[in-house]
Chains A and B, each alone.
Chain A
Amino acid sequence: QQQVKQSPQSLIVQKGGISIINCAYENTAFDYFPWYQQFPGKGPALLIAIRPDVSEKKEGRFTISFNKSAKQFSLHIMDSQPGDSATYFCAARGSGNTPLVFGKGTRLSVIA
């Protein structure tokens, strides 16, 4: 059973455009939703995270939108740059210091 569903699998965006990646979860006990960025040959790096008590969190060009009733959250990358080309993973976790459940990942390519 896949607890976190991520789409699309791959995404091509023009430089300067907006990249949008979506995730949906099933477990209503989840209360922490991070996004990780992974470059080839590297480990996942924490990008931005949100708790369900807010609907949006912005850090620089990266924004998480969260819809608790729909059990969905998304990552928006504004003014996408070629350096943003990487695989992005959404994840979710219950309360406390528990393991993350990951989506399958989205390979983003930003072309000039």
Chain B
Amino acid sequence: DAGVIQSPRHEVTEMGQEVTLRCKPISGHNSLFWYRQTMMRGLELLIYFNNNVPIDDSGMPEDRFSAKMPNASFSTLKIQPSEPRDSAVYFCASSLSQGAPHEQYFGPGTRLTVT
């Protein structure tokens, strides 16, 4: 299995630009999580989906952030407009909702730098 796939691996953009991060979960997994990692705040949840439906988006910092999961094999996280404080590593993780222990597997992350 290829594991969770994220693209791009690195993104450098200027303040005000739109950024789209992409994630392909592990085949057969039906839950998908977006986390953000910074030195100050560590790893924190942004949003998660179950069977393509957003369940909890309370971690999304503000309206500039949006996430979609149009099908079971693809999700996007969009930031529009981007700001320097959005610079972080963004991780996508997937898991199987049926049957414990629902282990979450992480992708390699996208390192975002907003200048």
Contacts and interface: CB of A to CB of B under 8 A. Distances in A.
Interface of A: 32, 34, 36, 41-46, 49, 51, 89, 93, 96-97, 99-105
B56 A99 contact: yes
A43 B31 contact: no
A93 to B, nearest CB: 8
Contacts, number: 52
Given A32-B100, A42-B108, A97-B97, 4 more contacts: A44-B91, A97-B50, A103-B42, A105-B43
B9 to A, nearest CB: 9
A74 to B, nearest CB: 18
A31 B24 CA distance: 28
Contacts of A97: 31, 50, 95-97, 102
B66 interface: no
A96 B109 CA distance: 25
DSSP majority for the B interface? strand
Contact of A43 (B44, B45, B95, B108): B108
Interface residues of B, number: 25
Nearest to A2: B42
B79 interface: no
B109 A49 contact: no
B101 A49 contact: yes
A84 B39 CA distance: 21
Ranked nearest first, the 6 interchain pairs of A and B with the lowest CB-CB distance are A43-B106, A97-B102, A102-B43, A97-B97, A99-B45, A104-B42
B42 A99 contact: no
B43 A46 contact: no
B105 interface: yes
